[in-house]
C-alpha cells in the first residue's frame, strides 16, 4: 500500500514564524502536491512537483514556497506565517503517467496561526 | 478556479437508503475521479471513470459520466453508517498531471 506521511497532525504557530510542513511518500511517485482545505472552498492546489528539484505553482502559491531535494520528500514552507494561513494542509502523491493517476493523500496537518 | 462542483452540498439519509451525489465541470476532461474524506483525515480514492466511459461500478458504488452535459453522478447503494464522509469529484485538465477538486458533498447516514 502507498503510504504518504505528514510530519505533524496538529501545529500551532505564531504570526511571523517560519513554518515547515513535511511530506514523505514511500512508493517512488514522481508527482507530489500540496493543497489547503478550507470550509466552503474545498481543496485548493498550492504547489506541485513533477520531479526532484522541480516545482510548479498551483492556484494559490502566494505566501508559500516548496522544496523537493529528494524524490520521496516534498516540503511546504510558510516564510512568515499569517493568520489567514490557518487551514488544513494536505499532501498527495501520484505516478507520472497519462493522466489517469490516482492521488494518494496523507492524513493532513491542521495548522493554527495565532 | 473550481472545475468540479458537487451537488448537493450536504445530504442526510437513513441507513439502507441509496445516496446520489452529482458533480458538474466546465472544460474537457480525460477522466473524472471520486474521492472520500472521513472527518479530519486525508482523501481516499474511490473510483475513476474515463471520458469514453458512461458508467462504472465498484462494489456498492456506481458512477456515471455524461460528457455532453459535463456532469457525473456517484450512487452509493444500501448505505451504511460507515459511509458517512465527504465526497469529492476531481477532474484533470487535458495534458496536465494535476487534478481540480470540487467543494464536496457532506453525506450523513443516520442509523
Express each pLDDT in A4-36 by its tens digit: 999 999 999 999 999 999 999 999 999 999 999
| Interface contact B88, partner A, CB < 8 A | yes
Query: Quick one: cell of A50?
Result: 513533477
Q: Give contacts of B44 with chain A, Cβ < 8 Å.
A: 105
Looking at residue A72, its pLDDT comes to 97
- In tens digits, what is the pLDDT along chain B, a chain of 111 residues? 345 688 899 999 999 999 999 999 988 888 899 999 999 889 999 999 999 999 999 999 999 999 999 999 999 999 999 999 999 999 986 666 788 898 899 999 999
Q: Using the beta-carbon criterion (under 8 Å), do B99 and A41 form an inter-chain contact?
A: no
Query: Is residue B88 within 8 Å of residue B63, measured between CB atoms?
Result: no
Looking at residue A100, its pLDDT comes to 67
CA distance B47 to chain A (A): 9
**Phi–psi pair at B81, nearest 5 degrees:** -55, -35
| Interface contact B101, partner A, CB < 8 A | yes
Looking at residue A113, its pLDDT comes to 98
Amino acid at each position: 500500500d502507498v503510504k504518504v506521511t505528514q510530519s505533524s497532525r496538529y501545529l500551532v504557530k505564531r504570526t511571523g514564524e517560519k513554518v515547515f510542513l513535511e511530506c514523505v511518500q514511500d512508493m517512488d511517485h514522481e508527482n507530489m502536491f500540496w493543497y489547503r482545505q478550507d470550509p466552503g472552498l474545498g481543496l485548493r492546489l498550492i504547489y506541485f512537483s513533477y520531479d526532484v528539484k522541480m516545482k510548479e505553482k498551483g492556484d494559490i502559491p502566494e505566501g508559500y514556497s516548496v522544496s523537493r531535494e529528494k524524490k520521496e520528500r516534498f516540503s511546504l514552507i510558510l516564510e512568515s506565517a499569517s493568520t489567514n494561513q490557518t487551514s488544513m494542509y494536505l499532501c498527495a502523491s501520484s505516478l507520472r503517467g497519462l493522466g489517469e493517476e490516482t492521488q494518494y493523500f496523507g492524513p493532513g496537518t491542521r495548522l493554527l496561526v495565532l | 478556479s473550481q472545475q468540479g462542483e458537487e451537488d448537493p452540498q450536504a445530504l442526510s439519509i437513513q441507513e439502507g437508503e441509496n445516496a446520489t451525489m452529482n458533480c458538474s465541470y466546465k472544460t474537457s476532461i480525460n477522466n473524472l475521479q471520486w474521492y472520500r474524506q472521513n472527518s479530519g483525515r486525508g482523501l481516499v480514492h474511490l473510483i475513476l471513470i474515463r471520458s469514453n466511459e458512461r458508467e462504472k461500478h465498484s462494489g456498492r458504488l456506481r458512477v456515471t459520466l455524461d460528457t455532453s452535459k459535463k456532469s457525473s453522478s456517484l450512487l452509493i447503494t444500501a448505505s451504511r453508517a460507515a459511509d458517512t464522509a465527504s465526497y469529492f469529484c476531481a477532474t484533470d485538465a487535458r495534458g496536465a498531471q494535476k487534478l481540480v477538486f470540487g467543494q464536496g458533498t457532506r453525506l450523513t447516514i443516520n442509523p
